[in-house]
């Protein structure tokens, strides 16, 4: 029986970060992984989807090359090559995590991890053999998987989830995307750019429903212009397989039914935590609504057992899991005298969200509705990219930046952006809010010209009636 200070179950952006930080702080550390180092994010999520989206961006450029004074004839998407590139990027990143494990002297235990008893983890290898390992601290980082609706059973061929969408052997001529969160919207963009006829079906009244209402409206307008069919207030009641395709019965808001035909249905209706069969019940670890309950330092109700990432109640985002990993390990180290201070708990109200469709979406803080519902009197500013010199020069003048401030104290309550490269720009708001910046300090900080990022400053000027370029 091998003995460690810390064992981490799962090696996604929560697990592998926890393992590295633990090793850096002097803990003897092991990580358990059943499939590929890097977890879903690196292998079947964030990273390979961004590779696909880059190929879609190239297709976009080629289709509009004449707008830039460049003639390109006879281009076509080689779909298997696009998928192959994406898989190559993911594999390279997974190998990078392998290197980091070696560099930080972290033991990698391949197999299914399960809590055996307090301070014990059983690992079942591919050969079915079980080994038991001891640790003073056990961190559960088992992540999540695609939620399955009972009327949309995933078969991997005609009804697929994100994993299937990342590795289709050939490009479908038509696709129905069920759900318009980040995953559904990103794949809708990618497949539409490749030449697939895409229909998005969303149960809520608007697409990207967690975003500010203005963002939803703008994206819907842009997507419709791209030829994507969008159905809101609609639900897929049943799917019948017919030959090589599917027939989906969609219930509309007025109760009427519509039949959609397509080659493939992509189910993108959210994420569910992986908390089954990992020994939670035997140790009486508290769960609620399918997630592991934790305190602000990621500790469960059982001493020595912690949980981070998608299997806990915070936002199911890679950067949340990574930050929780660091907070969790530093709190353990502080208690044991290996770290100089108690880490600050994560502020879940200042977590940025990014969607990598084209144009991109990025947001942090309150939406306008949330801020009004919370009783704030607001200063709201919106700067359209059609008024930005850099956006016009780049041929990327769709979208806008919207900022929300509290009128009383000038507090930065939220930012909502849609446009080219906005996922690279949201960090300014996150940092500004963390530093309790007011509108005046944003205006006093010089933003470079010409850039897409100066639209943040321009939007703040609009909010306070000081707009120069509008």
253 and 276 in a single domain? The answer is no
Distance of CA 202 to the CA centre of its chain: 18
375 and 276 in a single domain? The answer is no
pLDDT at 1 over 80: no
Name the packing angle between helices 182-194 and 46-63 (round to 10°).
40
pLDDT in tens, 249-283: 999 999 999 999 999 999 999 999 999 999 999 99
Question: 192 lies in a domain?
Answer: yes
pLDDT at 124 over 80: yes
Domain interval for residue 216: 159-269
65 contact partners, CB below 8 Å, separation of at least 6: 71, 72
Question: 205 lies in a domain?
Answer: yes
332 contacts 392 by C-beta, under 8 angstroms: no
- If you average pLDDT over every residue of the chain, what do you get? 96
- Comparing C-alpha atoms, which of 89, 45, 50, 113 is closest to residue 271? 45
Question: 470 lies in a domain?
Answer: no
pLDDT tier, 446 (very low <50, low <70, confident <90, very high otherwise): very high
22 and 129 in a single domain? The answer is yes
- Catalytic residue among 137, 319, 447, 449, which? 449
Question: 348 lies in a domain?
Answer: no
Query: What are the distances in angstroms from CA 119 to CA 221, 303, 308, 328?
Result: 54, 9, 17, 17
265 and 303 in a single domain? The answer is no
pLDDT in tens, 137-163: 999 999 999 999 999 999 989 999 999
> Among residues 246, 269, 292, which one ends one of the domains?
269
- Comparing C-alpha atoms, which of 54, 63, 60, 108 is closest to residue 83? 54
199 and 325 in a single domain? The answer is no
Instruction: Round to whole Å and give the CA distance between 379 and 381.
Output: 7
pLDDT in tens, 299-336: 999 999 999 999 999 999 999 999 999 999 999 999 99
- pLDDT of the residue at 182: 95
194 contacts 228 by C-beta, under 8 angstroms: no
Catalytic residue check, 449: yes
pTM of model > 0.85: yes
138 and 21 in a single domain? The answer is yes
Question: 65 lies in a domain?
Answer: yes
pLDDT tier, 470 (very low <50, low <70, confident <90, very high otherwise): confident
Question: 350 lies in a domain?
Answer: no
Residue 38 backbone phi and psi in degrees, to 5: 105, -15
Q: How many structural domains are present in the chain?
A: 3
- pLDDT of the residue at 469: 87
Percent of the chain topping pLDDT 90: 96
8 and 140 in a single domain? The answer is yes
287 and 232 in a single domain? The answer is no
440 and 299 in a single domain? The answer is no
> Among residues 288, 320, 335, which one ends one of the domains?
335
Beta carbons within 10 angstroms of residue 153's beta carbon: 10
> Among residues 216, 243, 269, which one ends one of the domains?
269
368 and 457 in a single domain? The answer is yes
- pLDDT of the residue at 32: 97
The CATH number of residue 384's host domain is: 3.30.390.30
Question: 354 lies in a domain?
Answer: no
The CATH number of residue 213's host domain is: 3.50.50.60
Question: 154 lies in a domain?
Answer: no
- pLDDT of the residue at 152: 92
Helices (H), 45-78: 46-63
Place of tokens 């930065």: 412
32 and 138 in a single domain? The answer is yes
């Amino acid at each position: 029986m091998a003995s460690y200070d810390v064992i981490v179950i799962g090696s996604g952006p929560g697990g592998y970060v926890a393992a590295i930080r633990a090793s850096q702080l002097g803990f003897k550390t092991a990580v358990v992984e059943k499939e590929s180092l890097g977890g879903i994010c690196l292998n079947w999520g964030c990273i390979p989807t961004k590779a696909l989206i880059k190929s879609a961006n190239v297709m976009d450029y080629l289709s509009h090359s004449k707008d830039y004074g460049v003639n390109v004839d006879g281009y076509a998407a080689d779909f298997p090559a696009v998928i192959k590139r994406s898989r190559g990027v993911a594999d390279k990143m997974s190998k990078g995590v392998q290197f980091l494990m070696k560099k930080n002297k972290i033991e990698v235990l391949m197999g299914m991890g399960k809590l055996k008893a307090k301070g014990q983890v059983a690992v079942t290898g591919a050969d079915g053999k079980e080994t038991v390992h001891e640790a003073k601290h056990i961190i559960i980082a088992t992540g999540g998987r695609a939620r399955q609706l009972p009327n949309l059973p995933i078969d991997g061929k005609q009804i697929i989830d994100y994993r299937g969408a990342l590795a289709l052997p050939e490009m479908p001529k038509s696709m129905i995307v069920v759900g318009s969160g980040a995953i559904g919207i990103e794949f809708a963009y990618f497949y539409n750019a490749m030449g697939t006829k895409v229909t998005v079906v969303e149960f809520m009244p608007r697409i990207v429903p967690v975003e500010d209402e203005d963002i939803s409206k703008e994206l819907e307008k842009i997507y419709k212009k791209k030829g994507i069919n969008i159905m809101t207030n609609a639900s897929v009641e049943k799917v019948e397989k017919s030959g090589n395709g599917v027939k989906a019965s969609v219930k509309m808001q007025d109760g009427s039914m519509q039949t959609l035909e397509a080659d493939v249905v992509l189910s993108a209706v959210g994420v569910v935590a992986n908390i089954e069969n990992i020994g939670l019940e035997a140790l009486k670890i508290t769960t609620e609504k399918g997630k592991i309950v934790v305190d602000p330092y990621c500790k469960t109700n059982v001493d020595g057992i912690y949980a981070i990432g998608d299997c806990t109640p915070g936002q199911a985002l890679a950067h949340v899991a990574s930050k929780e990993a660091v907070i969790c390990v530093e709190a353990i180290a502080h208690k044991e005298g290996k770290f100089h201070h108690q880490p600050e708990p994560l502020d879940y109200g200042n977590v940025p969200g990014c969607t990598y469709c084209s144009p991109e979406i990025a947001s942090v803080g309150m939406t306008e509705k949330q801020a009004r519902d919370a009783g704030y009197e607001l200063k709201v500013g919106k700067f359209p990219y059609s008024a930005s010199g850099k956006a016009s020069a780049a041929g990327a003048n769709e979208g806008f930046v919207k900022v929300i401030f509290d009128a009383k104290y000038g507090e930065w309550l939220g930012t909502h952006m849609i446009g080219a490269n906005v996922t690279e720009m949201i960090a300014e708001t996150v940092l500004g809010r963390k530093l309790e910046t007011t509108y005046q300090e944003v205006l006093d900080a010089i933003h470079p010209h010409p850039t897409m990022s100066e639209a943040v400053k321009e939007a703040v000027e609009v909010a306070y009636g000081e707009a120069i370029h509008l």
